[in-house]
Structure 1
Amino acid sequence: MAAPWRWLYRPWRIFRVFSVIYYAYMVEYRAELILWMLSGSFPLILMGLWNQAAQSGQMGLQPVEFVRYFLAVFLARQFTVVWVIWEFEKEVVQGKLSPLLLQPIDPVWRHFFSHFSERFARLPFAILLVGLFFWLYPDAIWMPTLYGWFWGLIAITLSFCLRFIMQYTFAMLAFWVERATAIQQFWYLFYIFLSGMIAPLELFPPAVREFVLWTPFPYMIYFPASLLVGLPVDLGRGLVTILFWGGVSLAINRWLWRRGLRHYSGMGA
């Protein structure tokens, strides 16, 4: 009976070993992890600004809705943060990628599991910050619906995968340029303004909002945050758009990876 499932043993073993190893590595630097979490508290600052602006009653959302939305943005950012481009660029520039290519596992999985395990190391601190938030804003306490919890968590997971594969695709350019991170920093400007991190998309002009919804940016922050707080979003369109941009990025990534390896070998690696 176990024979049909034998092909799952190796992937499960890789998943288990990598997850445990990188989790242990992440919790070893808890102080640094806390600092990284605090550096992502920008949405909580914006929350106070929009909360005050909403007191006029002309913003389209109630003050408490702004507070809940930016808390959801904070959580979405905490669990979708990605840094693979900096690590991959260093591996290519310093030649550290060469020994990894000799191993029977694609180097991408090491990066993926380091990110995956970091989510669990970050979770206790995120819970503490949410508790502090509700202590400061007791009127904003709410519990997402079962629908919001289920689809919100799925959206956060897909958003993380989308952002990871897009940034990893940018990282492939490190085979040709020494500072692929400069491209990421330029892309980050669009991410800040179009992802819903600065303001909910409900505040955008209708034509601009419709255009932005065809880009991948809102589905990295706005889409999962809205599901958690109960703001109206098109669930089907959101999931399809994430899968579409993820598929496009994956195809480009694999093409760049094959060409990049030939270029990397040609440089004497």
Structure 2
Amino acid sequence: MKPLFKKAIVLLGAYYAHMLEYRAEIFLWALSGSLPLILMGVWIEASKNGHFGLDSLQFVRYFFAVFLVRQLTVVWVIWDFEKEVVEGVLSFRLLQPLDPIWHHLARHLSEKVARIPVVLFFIILFFVLYPQSAWVPSYSRLFLFTVAIIVAFFVRFIIQYTFAMLAFWTERATAIEQFWFLFYIFLAGMIAPLDVFPPLVKELVFWTPFPYFIYFPAALLTGLPVNFIRGIFIILGWGVIFLFVNRWLWRRGLKHYSGMGA
């Protein structure tokens, strides 16, 4: 375990130093995820003229929570992996006694740490602009939210990395992610909280992995009713399924890989 721990520390330290070189770019990345803040205003106005199960204060808190969740769970591994396969960079990764997945995971985790000051800035800004919406979740809710965020990030990472394996057979694996993203936008709770969906549709959506990437953590943070135990088991089940598919595609893909130096 000690050698593995040392490798993890070295990888995280190296990629964290790399991410610090792009602090301004990370700030712009954070701003690019501001769609929930725009939708917040839309739903606040809609709540004044309709009955959607949530009042304007709940919409404000929910969409700000969505903004935070997206900042902490963003994944882009498919673009990096596709580039490595197409350009033959993966060949150099394969020469190392370390699965390339750990490089990608370390890069993502380091970026999350580098993004923390930006997230704190937006939290302070939110409470300044919307003082009437300020709330302090209980320690239990913060704990459940943290667990949900960690699980959501790792499962989303595994799912996208599984799609990235298709880069062994096509040069446009990212097209699969873009198609998947259409379902992610509408079913994960980014456009609207799932509470505004018809009950039957909401129940069916909860059996898919999408709600657990955004709605589930946001609901835990803001106090909306969700079943934590059931939700964790469902999303972990999807994670296990995609993990097995990922490893199978990885073994098949390596046999098919013909990049420079392979």
TM norm. shorter chain > 0.5: yes
Task: Name 1:150's counterpart in structure 2.
Answer: 143
Q: Secondary structure at the match of 1:214?
A: coil
Residue 28 (str. 1) matches residue 32 (str. 2): no
Query: Aligned pair in 2 of structure 1 residues 266, 182: CA closer, same or farther (>3 Å)?
Result: closer
- Specify which of 91, 96, 119 is matched with residue 89 of structure 2: 96
What pairs up with 1:105-124 in 2 under 5 angstroms? 105-124=98-117
Task: Name 2:192's counterpart in structure 1.
Answer: 199
- In 2, the alpha carbon distance for the partners of 1:173 and 1:182 equals 10
Is residue 91–residue 259 contact of structure 2 (8 Å, CA) maintained in 1?
no
Q: What letter is aligned with 2:257?
A: Y
Task: Name 1:4's counterpart in structure 2.
Answer: none
Q: Secondary structure at the match of 1:105?
A: coil
Task: Name 1:233's counterpart in structure 2.
Answer: 226
Query: Aligned pair in 2 of structure 1 residues 30, 211: CA closer, same or farther (>3 Å)?
Result: same
Task: Name 2:211's counterpart in structure 1.
Answer: 218
Task: Name 2:38's counterpart in structure 1.
Answer: 45
Q: What letter is aligned with 2:140?
A: Y
Output one character per residue of 1:67-108: Cα deviation in whole Å (capped at 9) or x when no partner. Answer: 000111000000000000000000000000001101000000
**TM-score (norm. length: structure 1):** 0.95
- Specify which of 46, 71, 74 is matched with residue 81 of structure 1: 74
Is residue 88–residue 261 contact of structure 2 (8 Å, CA) maintained in 1?
no
Query: Aligned pair in 2 of structure 1 residues 14, 266: CA closer, same or farther (>3 Å)?
Result: closer
- In 1, the alpha carbon distance for the partners of 2:237 and 2:144 equals 18
Residue 182 (str. 1) matches residue 175 (str. 2): yes
Q: What letter is aligned with 2:9?
A: R
- In 1, the alpha carbon distance for the partners of 2:69 and 2:151 equals 11
Q: Secondary structure at the match of 1:79?
A: helix
Residue 209 (str. 1) matches residue 198 (str. 2): no
Residue 129 (str. 1) matches residue 106 (str. 2): no
Shift of 1:52: 1.4
Shift of 1:147: 1.5
Task: Name 2:48's counterpart in structure 1.
Answer: 55
- In 1, the alpha carbon distance for the partners of 2:246 and 2:58 equals 38
Shift of 1:265: 4.5
Shift of 1:55: 1.9
Shift of 1:31: 1.0
- In 2, the alpha carbon distance for the partners of 1:266 and 1:38 equals 36
Q: What letter is aligned with 1:201?
A: L
Structure 1: state its 5+ residue gaps: 1-7
- In 1, the alpha carbon distance for the partners of 2:51 and 2:99 equals 52
Q: Percent of aligned pairs with the same residue? A: 61
Shift of 1:56: 3.2
- Root-mean-square deviation (CA), in Å? 1.2
Output one character per residue of 1:187-219: Cα deviation in whole Å (capped at 9) or x when no partner. Answer: 000000000001111100111101100000000
Task: Name 2:161's counterpart in structure 1.
Answer: 168
- In 2, the alpha carbon distance for the partners of 1:267 and 1:22 equals 25
Task: Name 2:246's counterpart in structure 1.
Answer: 253
